[in-house]
Amino acid sequence: MEPGLEHELLLSWWEAAAAADTRVPGPDATGRLRTPRIVQRALNALSHSAFFAGLAEGAMIGSARQVRRYFTEPDVRQAAGDRLARSVTGETAVIVAHSLGSVVAYETLCAHPQWQDLTLITLGSPLAVRGLVFDRLQPAPHGGTARWPVPLKRWINIADHGDSVALIKELAPSFGTRIQDQTVNNGAHAHDVRPYLTARETGLALAKALG
Q: Are 85 and 91 in contact (CB under 8 A)?
A: no
Q: What pLDDT sits at residue 92? A: 96
Q: Per-residue pLDDT for 24 more than 50?
A: yes
Question: 154 pairs with which residues across the strands?
Answer: 119
- Alpha helix positions (H), the chain: 5-20, 38-46, 57-72, 74-87, 100-110, 172-175, 193-198, 200-209
pLDDT in tens, 57-68: 555 666 778 888
Q: How far apart are CA 152 and CA 109, in angstroms?
A: 8
pLDDT in tens, 90-136: 999 999 999 999 999 999 999 999 999 999 999 999 999 887 899 99
**Annotated domain spans of the chain:** 5-71, 87-209
Q: What pLDDT sits at residue 53? A: 54
pLDDT in tens, 128-167: 988 789 999 999 999 999 999 999 999 999 999 878 788 7
Q: How far apart are CA 123 and CA 189, in angstroms?
A: 13
pLDDT in tens, 1-17: 666 777 777 777 777 77
Classify 63 as helix, strand or coil. Answer: helix
Percent helix, strand and coil across the chain, each to the nearest 5: 40, 15, 45
Q: How far apart are CA 149 and CA 44, in angstroms?
A: 39
pLDDT in tens, 25-56: 667 644 445 555 666 666 666 665 655 555 55
Q: What residue type is assigned to position 84 of the chain?
A: L
Q: What pLDDT sits at residue 30? A: 42
Q: Nearest-CA neighbor of 112 among 156, 152, 153?
A: 152
134 CA to centre of own chain = 10
